[in-house]
Every structure is written in structure tokens, then in C-alpha cells.
Amino acid sequence: MNKLFYIATILIVISCKKDVIESPDCKRLRTGLLELNESIVKQEIEKLTADLHPQPQAEDPTGHMYNLQILVDRLNNDCSEFIASVSCYACIETYPPMSEVLVEFEEAGETRKVIIDLVTSGEDILRFGGIHVQ
């Protein structure tokens, strides 16, 4: 009986998988941002947010303030052609609240600025919510 317990425990531990973070396809993300293609941008952004679960604290009851900065850091580190920054946190008063990340990049000699909206629910990971031009 003891052996069966240990085997079951080992199988459970092995079968548990951590959230997997994939690197975004920066070229595809750029195309999605240029074309304002929400489907493409969503797929690439959610690769970077798969492990960003809410971590509520007294000063941040929703729990995504730090996660938003992690997303920005990942974008800046993984896609060197982008300059990403937090535009606002939980500033769009919807339910759940939404936040914005500004992504800037050069295209044909011009600086393009696109806002990525993110759903900052205290009950779910950071999720893509939409895009628009600043």
C-alpha cells in the first residue's frame, strides 16, 4: 500500500505542469500592431502573460500592477524593436478594470504608437483586451 501511495504521489507531481512562457514572434506581433489585427496581437501577448496570475496586496487589491510591469519588461527584452511602457493601470473603469500598455516602434521613418488594452481581473491572469492607436 505504501508503494502505491508513493507512485501515485510521484505521478501527480510529474503531471503537474507550470505555466509555460513562450517567446513572442516579434515580427508577427509587429505586423499585428501595424494592421491593428487583434487576433495576431492577442496570440502573441498571451504567450507573455500565461503565468501572470493576480497577486493582491493592500496597495493593489486587483493584484496586477507588478504583472503589468513584467509584461512591459518581457516585451522590451524579447522584441528589441519595440519600446513598451505602462500607460495606465486599472484606468479603464469597466468590470473587470482594464489597463493600457503603450508600444512604440519605427515604421517607414515614422514612430508608430499603439495601445494594447489588458484585462486586469483579480480573478484571472493578465489577458489581452484589445488594441487601438494612440
Q: What is the pTM assigned to this prediction?
A: 0.83
Specify if 17 maps to a domain: no
User: Is 107 a domain residue?
Assistant: yes
Name the 3-class secondary structure at 107: strand
- Tens digits of residue pLDDT in 43-82: 999 999 999 999 999 999 999 999 999 999 999 999 999 9
Residue 7 lies in a domain: no
Contact 118, 101 (CB under 8 A): yes
63 assigned to some structural domain: yes
For residue 125, the enclosing domain spans 22-133
Distance (Å, rounded) from C-alpha 82 to C-alpha 92? 24
- Does residue 60 fall inside a structural domain? yes
Least Cα distance to 68 among 82, 52, 83, 80 occurs for: 52
Q: Sorting pLDDT into bands at 50, 70 and 90, what band is 21?
A: confident
Residue 130 CB-half CA count within 13 A: 6
Query: Is the pLDDT reported for residue 1 higher than 80?
Result: no
pLDDT band at 5 (very low <50, low <70, confident <90, very high): low
* Per-residue pLDDT band at 99 (split at 50, 70, 90): very high
pLDDT at 14 over 50: no
In the chain, what percentage of residues exceed pLDDT 90? 80
Residue 1: inside a domain: no
Say how many domains are in the chain.
Answer: 1
Helix axes 38-48 and 65-78, enclosed angle (nearest 10): 100
The position carrying cell 493578465 is 126
- Percent of the chain at pLDDT exceeding 70: 85
pLDDT tops 50 at residue 24: yes
Inside any domain, residue 4: no
Residue 85 lies in a domain: yes
